[in-house]
Structure 1
Amino acid sequence: MPVVYLITADVKPEQRERFLSLLNGVLDAMRHEDTFIEAVLHEDPGTPNRFMLYEAWQSHEDVMTVQLNRPYRKPWHDALPELLDSPRDISIWQPLRADLKSGQPGNTSLNTASISDQERASAPAS
């Protein structure tokens, strides 16, 4: 089942460029992983050194047992204490629905069937 991670980080102003450089290396490598779906890096428009990363993967188990142990992540993880003002906030989500504007490029592998409230109410509990 797909899984989404929302990761927020407050970066020390003097470490901004190093943070982005190391993270870009991780993101560039991640996109080639078989279980990777997508990642989107956001910057808080009101707080330039606050970032939010949206990562979607096909399997939480794979992320925990394989992906977090990839060698390309080590320099990034090792540098975090020097880069951040405080520990990252990481939350885990399961997608229920994804919508993309028709004709727009994008990864649709997270899309799930949309069902009405009536159909949901009559579906057996799993």
Structure 2
Amino acid sequence: MTAQAHPETYVITFHVKPDRVDRFRSLLDPVLDAMRHETTFVRAALHVDPDRPTVFQLHETWADREDVLNVQLSRPYRAAWHASLKDILDTPRQIGIWTVVRAD
């Protein structure tokens, strides 16, 4: 693991096709369950827009960016999830990377 001043949070927004919401969850939930056991995992939270039930936002916090890019993204438990994204999303997912400057 490389040294980092702060863990990073990946904020990922998904616009899911209306008839694919159940499939979205059935594919993503096992990924979230599996990744919580990874050594560089810090936390994750999945949100849904209360006014738009097909718009989700995932916050994944990891301790090591290099591990995320070189190891975590290619974990076998993510394969079905990644392979299905084009089919279940209306638009490509939007990914932002954020670093904490204050937490209360």
- The TM-score by the shorter chain falls in which range? over 0.9
**Counterpart for residue 78 of structure 2:** 73
1:22 is matched with which residue: 17, 24, 27?
Answer: 27
How many residue pairs end up in the alignment? Answer: 99
2:88 is matched with which residue: 83, 87, 105?
Answer: 83
**TM-score calculated relative to the size of structure 2:** 0.93
Alpha-carbon displacement from aligned partner over 1:4-32 (angstroms, at most 9, x marks no partner): 10000000011100100100010000000
Q: After TM superposition, where is structure 1 displaced by more than 2 Å over at least 4 residues in a row?
A: none
Structure 1 residue 94, shift from structure 2 partner: 1.1
Point out which structure has higher relative CO (alpha carbons under 8 A, 6+ apart): 2
**Counterpart for residue 9 of structure 1:** 14
Distance in structure 2 (CA, Å) of the matches to 1:11 and 1:54: 16
Percent identity between matched residues is 56
Question: When you count strand as a share of all residues, which structure comes out higher?
Answer: 2
The structure whose Rg is larger is 1
Distance in structure 2 (CA, Å) of the matches to 1:28 and 1:98: 25
Alpha-carbon displacement from aligned partner over 1:95-116 (angstroms, at most 9, x marks no partner): 11222xxxxxxxxxxxxxxxxx
The alignment's C-alpha RMSD in Å is 0.6
Distance in structure 2 (CA, Å) of the matches to 1:36 and 1:21: 21
1:98 is matched with which residue: 90, 97, 103?
Answer: 103
Distance in structure 2 (CA, Å) of the matches to 1:60 and 1:12: 30
Gap runs ≥5 in structure 2 = none
